[in-house]
Chain A
Amino acid sequence: MASFSTNQFRPGLKIMVEGDPCNIIDNEFVKPGKGQAFNRVKYRNLRTGRVNEKNIRSGDVFEGADVVDTDMQYLYKDGSGWHFMDPASYEQYMVSEAAMGDAQKWVKEQDICSVTLYNGQAISVTAPNFVSLKVTETDPGLRGDTSGGGSKAATLETGAVVRVPLFINVGDLLKVDTRSAEYVSRAKE
């Protein structure tokens, strides 16, 4: 795997930090007038999902992380974890609860997700940006109120809870933005 110096750091570059693959979010060059230069690097640990910031001496070299994002189909869940399949190779991957993270709130069987593989192991899953899910529980809808003037909580078939307009009813299919966990619109079957 290639190595990268701090002056090659760009958002999106994947590097190894303390043994974990990480995705660079931001890289700021800081240098006191006549002194040693540093890079203040903000990155997401792809194994834990946590965002951290480190001051690194400019010019220090980091190993690149052998990380690949692959579109995979979610098959089913059982006692051992979530199971995905790479539609190109038909190879199946098991994903742990920790690696599923927030994605478990949104995915339904057959959905195509982006699975991050590190050294051939699935370490994180990103749900599709938009999903269509049925409402299983919410207060009765207010007929005729389509103005969007208020909101209430609705539980979806995956167990996720989102704020929805007052006119939404149990059984409605909703389009949800998984990045912000926000209701977008009603969806067609």
Chain B
Amino acid sequence: MSGRGVDGDDRLDGDDDWRPTAPLENLKRRAELVGAVRRFFAERGVLEVETPALGAATATDLHLASLATSLSAPLASCAATLSAPLASDAATLSAPAAGGARRLYLQTSPELHMKRLLAAGSGPIWQLCKAFRDGEAGRRHNPEFTMLEWYRPGWDHHRLIGEVDELLRATLPGIVGGGPREQLTYRDAFLTHAGIDPFAADAQTLRSRAAELGVDVGAGSASWSREEWLHLLLAAVVEPRLGRGRPTFLLDFPASEAALARVRDGDPPVAERFEAFVEGVELANGYHELADAREQARRFAADSDARRRDGLPAAPADARLLAALEHGLPDCAGVALGFDRLAMLALGVDSIDQVIAFPIDRA
């Protein structure tokens, strides 16, 4: 949970905690990796962009917690923007806080802003930026982390999987050289690695399967939902077995896990979403992007209801994204890749503290 010192020492106290946790040699190799990524996209003619770390809206996803701050000097145009007609009843711009200050959110990913660039006609774009997620700290998580995100207009998620695979081979040559990539549907991954059909099993069945697989759980688990059991089995049983010797791409997630991906009709309907795994580490999450403004507004509203039901803080949906979708988002696929984890794999270390200078406990 807490940061690990350079020598795996758990103690952060004492006079030495001004020092970086990552050896300087690791930071040099990380910088080389940034160079390799920049060359990768330059060679492909993808435009490097920068979008705000602070936004008026944030991700509505139930499992993402945003950090917020307030801006004390409201912009002159702020009042006009707020009184403008909203693209949907479900969407609300962040309300001004007391004293005229505005609430702003540190972005959990650059997705909302990058899609507005795509709608404005940017063509293929990429960026390497800081993203922020409250409460996420551990061996593979830091609340402030570096994300590599890119979008390909005119592509679907299958074609983008091919490019993610090429990026992994360019940056992790020693690790993913063991053969062609593996593509596995969400259902087949559960059938193969956990021996259960994730679309058919109910909460009780998933619970007994977890027990059979030796996944011990806390006392509160009696009330867990089907989705929570699936998340547990995925994290504890399935994921550690993926990406061994070659990258694994997990496809066709349940429609309930679509987030901002398109849902393909079928029995059952599945989300056109993928995740990439290398050596049991979840590296990337990609979508064939949802472009339907009305469907997007409906999902924001559903998230908002679920947040209220679960007592989670409200996350204002992005009215400007909905307006951009109304205008027209090109058919495209996009992916977000955890750059710190890519660096961990490239350097062969098992803690994120080994690839960032100052993790949250020393920030």
Judge: A and B partners, yes or no.
yes
List of A residues within 8 angstroms of B140 by Cβ: 29
CB-CB < 8 A to A59: which residues of B? 135
B138 & A52 in contact (Cβ 8 Å cutoff): no
Contact (Cβ within 8 A) A57 B135 = no
Inter-chain contact A57/B139, CB cutoff 8 Å: no
Tally of A-B residue pairs with Cβ under 8 A? 85
Per-position binary interface string of chain A over residues 35-73, scored 1 when its CB falls under 8 Å from any chain B CB and 0 otherwise: 111111000000000001111111110000000000000
5 CB-based A-B contacts, threshold 8 Å: A7-B1, A29-B1, A33-B275, A35-B227, A55-B217
Contacts of B231 in A (CB 8 A): 32, 35-36, 38
Specify which chain A residues have a CB less than 8 angstroms from the CB of B232 in the assembled complex: 36, 38, 55
Chain A residues near B234 (CB-CB < 8 A): 32, 35
Q: Can you name 5 extra interface pairs (CB under 8 A) apart from A10-B1, A30-B235?
A: A7-B135, A7-B137, A36-B231, A38-B235, A53-B216
Chain B residue at smallest Cβ distance from A24:
B1
Q: How far, in angstroms, from A34 to B253 measured CA to CA in the complex?
A: 11
Report the bound CA distance from A21 to B64 in whole Å: 32
Choose one: A29, A37, A40; the contact of B63 (CB below 8 Å): A37
Question: Knowing A10-B1, A10-B2, A55-B215 touch, does A34 contact B63 (C-beta < 8 A)?
Answer: yes
Per the bound structure, the CA–CA distance linking A55 and B135 in Å amounts to 17
Docked complex Cα distance between A158 and B61 (Å) = 61
B187-230 interface (Cβ within 8 A of A): 215-221, 224, 227-228, 230
Cα–Cα distance between A54 and B224 once the two chains are bound (Å):
15
Tell me whether B236 is interfacial, beta carbon within 8 Å: yes
Instruction: Compute how far the CA of A133 lies from the CA of B36 in the bound complex, rounded to whole angstroms.
Output: 62
- Which 7 residue pairs are nearest across A and B when measured between Cβ atoms? A29-B138, A35-B231, A36-B231, A56-B218, A27-B1, A32-B234, A32-B235
Chain A residue total in the interface (Cβ 8 A): 28
Question: Which A residues are in CB contact (< 8 Å) with B64?
Answer: 34
A57 to chain B: closest CB distance in Å? 7
In the bound complex, residues from chain A placing their C-beta under 8 Å from that of B138 are 28-30
Give the residue of B135, B216, B227, B236 whose beta carbon is less than 8 angstroms from that of A52: B216
CB distance from A43 to the nearest CB of B (A): 11
Question: Smallest distance from the beta carbon of B111 to chain A beta carbons, Å?
Answer: 12
The chain B residue with its CB closest to the CB of A18 is: B219
Q: Which residue of A lies closest to B1 (CB)?
A: A27
B285 at the interface (CB under 8 A from A): yes
Task: Give residues 75-95 of A contacting B (CB, 8 Å).
Answer: none
- A11: B residues at CB distance < 8 A: 10
* B51-63 near A? 1/0 per residue, CB < 8 Å: 0000000000101
Most chain B CB within 10 A, of A11, A34, A35, A40, is at A34
Q: Assuming the A-B contacts A32-B239, A34-B61, are A58 and B228 also in contact, with contact meaning beta carbons closer than 8 angstroms in the complex?
A: no
CB–CB B136/A31 < 8 A:
yes
Interface presence of A9 (CB below 8 A): yes
Beta-carbon contact of B257 and A57 below 8 Å: no
Nearest residue (CB) in A for B260 is A34
Whole-angstrom distance from the CB of B306 to the nearest CB of chain A? 13
CA distance A31 to B64 in the complex (A): 11
A36 proximity list for chain B (CB < 8 A)? 63, 227-228, 231-232
Chain B hits for A30, CB < 8 A: 138, 235-236
Given contacts A7-B1, A54-B217, A56-B218, contact A31 B141 (CB under 8 A): yes
Cβ distance B311 to chain A, nearest Cβ, rounded Å:
11
Within A132-158, which residues are at the interface with B (CB < 8 Å)?
A: none
User: What chain A residues lie within 8 Å of B135 (beta carbons)?
Assistant: 7, 37, 58-59
Chain A residues whose CB sits within 8 angstroms of the CB of B282 once the complex forms: 32-33
Contacts of B63 in A (CB 8 A): 31, 34-37
A32 neighbours in B (Cβ, 8 Å): 231, 234-235, 239, 282
**Does B106 sit at the interface, judged by CB under 8 A?**
no
B259 within 8 Å of A by Cβ?
yes
Whether the pair B1, A60 counts as a contact (CB closer than 8 A) is: no
The residue on A at minimum CB distance from B2 is A10
Give complex CA distance A35, B273 in Å: 14
Closest A residue to B229 by beta carbon equals A36
| Closest CB in chain A relative to B211 CB, distance in Å | 12
A58 to B224, CA, bound (A): 13
Q: In the complex, what residues of A have CB within 8 A of residue B61's CB?
A: 34
